[in-house]
Amino acid sequence: MAVTSATPTAPRRKRAVTAGFHLGAGALAVLWLLPIALVLVTSLRSFDDIAAHGLGSWPQSFTLGNFGQAWVDGGQQRALINSLLVTVPSVAITLALAAMAAFALSRYELRFRRSLLLLMLGGNLLPPQILLIPVSKLSELMGVYDTLPALIGVQIGFGVGFYVFVLHGFMRAIPTEIQQAAVVDGAGPWQIFWRIILPLARPALAALSALSFTWIFNDLLWAITVLRSDAKMPITAALIGLQGQYVSMWNVIAAGSVIAAAPTVAVFLRFQRHFVAGLNLGAVK
């Protein structure tokens, strides 16, 4: 980590600054990565090893059995499938709906378009607590309480406003001329949307997909509001359950945490650029 970019001819002062930078930033990075390393190491140790030497000791054993235990006995396999069954459709539908609304609001002179945009954003900014009780009662009323579609529905409804707002900003920046040319060629709104605006909005859509995947996948509050049975819970809730089931068996709990974090870390590592862009797109517009 202490590689310096200074060349032999560079002044000594500059080299010292560079070394200082790497020392400081390196220490910070280690501090930040330490808890993650701790979980990874703990997930690979045996229970007896941890019981005998403590969580902070140097590992004296190596096993992959904890993952099997969390995966099968701890019900993480089912929970992970539940999470993906909720997350993937939620992300896809939310973004599709948001892209439609953003297209209409940004490319057409609708009445009240500004108010509508803000109404939708405002819905997303409401604290979810005010919605919890009515949403759980509503899903009972609609007969979908304790089903995954209820969770998908609420994720879509609660998320869509924010994505409309972000995509609206992005789509407005697309030059009018492109659209006018298409209109002259006889393209209808659907063709303009599908063939012109959507492909141009791809960077924003990629960024928002990466972002919303982690948000929805990591959600706990909505899941425990509209779901009841353990068999339907997503991975976040299952992880809490795992903690109750394997009290102080930190090897299994750590393995469970690794399983729960793996999908979002994979998305992050694969789409890091989009991911960071997404956060900025949303906020520093």
Partner 1 sequence: MAVLTAPARKSPARSLPRGRRAGGPRRTPPLVLAFVLVPLLAEAVWVFWPALQGFYLALTSWDGVSPPSFVGLGNFREMAHDDVFLSATGHTVLWLVLFGGLSALLGLGAALLLQQERRGVGFYRAALFLPVVFSLVATALVWQAIYQPEGVLNQLLQSVGLGSLRHAWLADQDTALYAVIVPALWRQIGYVMVLYLAGLKGVDPALYEAAKMDGANIWQRFRHITVPQLRSVNAVVLSVIVIDSLRSFDVVWSLTRGGPYHSSELLSTYMYSTAFQSLRLGYGSALAVVIFVLAFGVIASYLVRAFREAD
> Closest separation between CB of residue 37 and partner 1, Å?
10
> In sequence order, which residues have a C-beta less than 8 Å from that of residue 211 and are 6 or more positions away?
275, 278, 279, 282
> In sequence order, which residues have a C-beta less than 8 Å from that of residue 160 and are 6 or more positions away?
94, 97, 98, 101, 120, 124
| Nearer residue to partner 1 within complex by CB, 63 or 243 | 243
| Nearer residue to partner 1 within complex by CB, 63 or 179 | 179
DSSP per position, 224-247: HHH--SGGG--HHHHHHHHHHHTT
**Residues 251 and 42: beta-carbon distance below 8 Å:** yes
> In sequence order, which residues have a C-beta less than 8 Å from that of residue 239 and are 6 or more positions away?
76, 79, 256, 257, 260
| Nearer residue to partner 1 within complex by CB, 5 or 9 | 5
> Closest separation between CB of residue 175 and partner 1, Å?
9
**Residues 170 and 204: beta-carbon distance below 8 Å:** yes
Closest C-alpha among 73, 88, 85, 41 to residue 241: 73
Q: Tokens 């409401």 sit at which residue? A: 126
| Nearer residue to partner 1 within complex by CB, 82 or 106 | 106
> Closest separation between CB of residue 256 and partner 1, Å?
8
> Closest separation between CB of residue 35 and partner 1, Å?
5
**Residues 269 and 212: beta-carbon distance below 8 Å:** no
> Closest separation between CB of residue 118 and partner 1, Å?
5
| Nearer residue to partner 1 within complex by CB, 16 or 133 | 133
CA–CA dist 2, 229 (Å, integer)? 51
> Closest separation between CB of residue 136 and partner 1, Å?
8
| Nearer residue to partner 1 within complex by CB, 31 or 64 | 31
84: its two tokens: 């993906």
Closest C-alpha among 139, 160, 156, 157 to residue 232: 139
| Nearer residue to partner 1 within complex by CB, 177 or 202 | 177
> Closest separation between CB of residue 147 and partner 1, Å?
14
